[in-house]
Structure 1
Amino acid sequence: MRNGDNEQAKAVLLDLSKTYPELSGPYTNLGLIYFREGKIDEAEASFLQAIKVNPKSAVSYNHLGIISRGKGKFQEAKAHYQQALKINDDYAYAHLNIGILYDLYLGELDKALDHYNRFQSLSPEKDPEVEKWIVDLERRIKTSN
């Protein structure tokens, strides 16, 4: 997958998913490839299959949240992100994505700020873009009070 040969990677992952249907990894990785290719329905089906096989796949729940958010299903997205965080509260990208959801789509600024800060604390290096979002959110929260 890392060298960009998606077709070969998909073929190997499809073969693995048939040989070892009890493993969630091939389905999750297929979902990631499909997602990057913009094949959202295929990605969603792969992530759902990964969760069916392994209900503790935080990566799959996180990406299902991204897909749901993209479809305008904000409460469904929230539930997926929350499930990812229930599985692994140290999963930085689930904190980032639920923060974006709270900030831009649900208007729950305090919750967004908490999750952006948690993302930054879990990341090896602070993301300068998220740092700007935090400053902006703090300003918006202060002026709304």
Structure 2
Amino acid sequence: MYRCTDTRRSRAWLATTALVLMLALQACAPGPARRAPSVASTTPSAPINDDARAQYAAALSLIDNGQAEDAKAALHALVAQHPRLSGAWTNLGILQARADDTPAALISFTQACQSNPENLIAWNWRASLLRQQRRYLEAEQAYLAALRIDEADASSHRNLALLYDLNLGRTQDALDHYRRYQQLSDNPLIVQAWIHRLEDQLQSTQTRVAEQSTP
């Protein structure tokens, strides 16, 4: 009996800890930004001439040097001349998102995804911003698009699981993606607490249904 009680207390503590960690995660920047602090690796994703390539490299250098406003101006000029440069749109969107200019960032990420439907970073950022705006079903579709590009992308599974868990109330779907994230992540301990919490929820629901159906 004591062992059962201790287990319940342990699971309850894990659930509380998991919730605190998830809320902290919610307050952070979108997931892709945490995974890739530097955006200099984002490629143009379209053929460009030498002059445009030099402009793009200069804009990335401004980003790396912390000159965000100058970088935004350079990227604005670049996409005005070359609107199919998915990487330039992506970097511009990241700078706009970090400046809390969500409407402009969403436009940039949408352009990035249209220019290159295989742009995983842009899809994840777009989904994160849509979720911030409570456009949950659109966010879901953007995360699913990211997973179609790379099913083994751990952050996409985590972000989609959080959306299902905290915003859409789809417990089983959230559990499935937390488990997949656990398989892919280098830090499975936190995810295990999330999984325990949802497993307890599902078990409680199943118990209530069984009790209600008993004559």
Aligned to 2:68: 6
CA separation of 1:35/1:127 partners in 2, compared to 1, >3 Å: closer, same or farther? farther
CA separation of 1:34/1:112 partners in 2, compared to 1, >3 Å: closer, same or farther? same
- The reply to whether residue 138 of structure 1 matches residue 213 of structure 2 is no
Aligned to 1:31: 93
- The reply to whether residue 83 of structure 1 matches residue 145 of structure 2 is yes
SS at match of 1:4: coil
RMSD of aligned alpha carbons: 2.0
Equivalent residues, number: 144
TM-score w.r.t. length of structure 1: 0.85
CA separation of 1:7/1:128 partners in 2, compared to 1, >3 Å: closer, same or farther? farther
CA separation of 1:127/1:7 partners in 2, compared to 1, >3 Å: closer, same or farther? farther
Could you say which structure has the greater relative contact order, defined with CA pairs below 8 angstroms and 6 or more residues apart? 2
Q: 1:33-112 counterparts in 2 under 5 A? A: 33-112=95-174
Which of the pair has more CA radius of gyration? 2
- Distance in structure 2 (CA, Å) of the matches to 1:118 and 1:3: 37
Of stretches 135-144 and 3-12 in structure 1, the one that deviates more from structure 2 is: 3-12
Unaligned residue ranges in structure 1 (runs of 5+): none
Identity of aligned residues (%): 38
Return the letter of the residue paired with 1:64. R
- Distance in structure 2 (CA, Å) of the matches to 1:135 and 1:84: 26
CA-to-aligned-CA distance 1:22-67 (integer Å, 9 cap, x gap): 3201111111121122110111010011012112222222222222
SS at match of 1:89: coil
SS at match of 1:72: coil
Return the letter of the residue paired with 1:36. R
TM-score w.r.t. length of structure 2: 0.60
CA-to-aligned-CA distance 1:88-108 (integer Å, 9 cap, x gap): 212222111110111111111
